[in-house]
Amino acid sequence: MNPTEAIVEAAGVGYAMAITLPTYSALVGQEEKEVKLYVTEVIREDAHELYGFTVRAERQLFELLMTVSGVGASTARMILSAFSAEELRMLIATGNAKGLAQVKGLGPKTAQRIIVDLKDKALKLDLGGDPTELPLGGFEPEDQGVKGEAVSALTMLGFAAAASGKAVDKILKANPTMKVEAVIREALKML
């Protein structure tokens, strides 16, 4: 097994399956054990390919992404390796094309097309919780207050969640009583 492929044995036959990085992380250490994967078969003129996911929502988003013009199986897998299912749904729900376009090989036009084509469909997926309130890396859902609001606002503006979190932490460390608006303004100067 490597980060992009797993060999799965079923009824004595080994199948090579393309996987995402979150699926690889879930499978590490499970090598000789029985695992459950949600599989999608992609049929092209020159190949039949299998894609495996440990989470059903990831497979559903993979299949939705492939319905968008200009997004193939490898691009969909790259997107799902860059973002968790919840993070991707949040990017689509909030219309964050800039954040989505950070994926290697995904331009701004294709990112915008993904958002336009999938916004309603992605919102209907049952991933648990409200998609517009999901965290995007760097902080937990219970982390509310100034930091949570500031990081959330910055990610919706298209800045990377990790960089936003670091900038907000630095600002709040220097002045812990700042209001959200002031923190966001200061962070915008730093990013």
Q: What is the pLDDT of residues 84-124, one digit of tens each?
A: 888 888 889 888 899 898 887 788 999 999 999 998 887 77
What are phi and psi for residue 96, nearest 5 degrees?
A: -85, 75
pLDDT band for position 1 (cuts 50, 70, 90)? low
Token pair of 113 as six digits:
């097309």
Mean pLDDT lowest among 19-23, 119-123, 138-142, 151-155: 138-142
- Residue 131: pLDDT above 50? no
Is 118 in contact with 89 (CB distance < 8 Å)?
no
Q: What is the mean pLDDT of residues 41-56?
A: 91
* Ramachandran angles phi, psi of 52, nearest 5°: -115, 145
- In three-state secondary structure terms, 12 is coil
Q: Which domains does the chain have, with CATH numbers?
A: 5-124 (1.10.150.20), 135-190 (1.10.8.10)
Residues with Cβ within 8 Å of residue 90, at least 6 apart in sequence: 96, 131, 132, 134, 136
